[in-house]
Amino acid sequence: MGVDKAQALIKAINKIPMFSNLGEANVRIILQVCEFRQVGADDFVCKAGEQSDEMLVLLSGKLGVFTEENVSIATIEPVAPVGEMGLITGQPRSATVKALAASNMLVVKKMVFDRLMRSNGQVCIQVYRNVMQTLWGRLQESKEQHLQAEDECNELVGKLGTVEQETQALRERR
């Protein structure tokens, strides 16, 4: 692998929250366990309900995320991961991912990832610390969304009360 390509891949891996702050030597270890995969436009990358036995890092192209009812819920642009939580939890895929354009990816197989985590304590600690920070961030975001939805709901309940009062007043006028 050329020096420029290796440096580009190191930068790509560093952009993945799960692999941040590993240092170049450990990122190179991660790269050593990755495989390359190419998919064509409209190819399925993974399907909802399937076993989560690998994580993907989109290097080029574009992916779409779909519900089981084939409703588009997101697009994935380079450099982004697919299936990082499933790689750790082993939970089945929660969505279907399909290539919207020809795409190139790095693939980390669960068995290889697990072996790496068992054999390299430094990488293991940092990866799991990063995952915990990501989950904490998602939890905080979820709490904020919940509070915002609660405020909107209370506002709507207030408006409904006003409409009910106005309706009652109109009925009494008849």
Q: At CA 92, angle to CA 88 and CA 93, rounded to 5?
A: 95
Predicted pLDDT of residue 46: 94
Segments making up each domain of the chain, as ranges: 3-173
DSSP, collapsed to helix, strand or coil, labels residue 172 as helix
Share in percent of the chain as helix, strand, coil (round to 5): 55, 25, 20
Report angle CA 105, 77, 7 to the nearest 5 degrees: 55
Q: What's the pLDDT at 152?
A: 93
SS3 157: helix
pLDDT of residue 77: 94
pLDDT of residue 1: 60
Q: Where are the alpha helices (DSSP H) in 90-120?
A: 110-119
**pLDDT of 47:** 94
Instruction: Read off φ and ψ for residue 62, nearest 5 degrees.
Output: -155, 135
8 Å CB contact between 63 and 91: no
Q: What are the angstrom distances between the C-alpha of 64 and each of 58, 83, 102, 105, 158?
A: 12, 13, 12, 14, 39
Token pair listed for 106: 């790095």
Fold classified for 3-173: Jelly Rolls (2.60.120)
| pLDDT tens by residue, the chain, 174 residues | 677 887 888 888 888 888 989 998 999 999 999 999 999 999 999 999 999 999 999 999 999 999 989 999 999 999 899 998 888 888 999 999 999 999 999 999 999 999 999 999 999 999 999 989 988 988 899 999 999 999 999 999 989 989 988 888 888 887
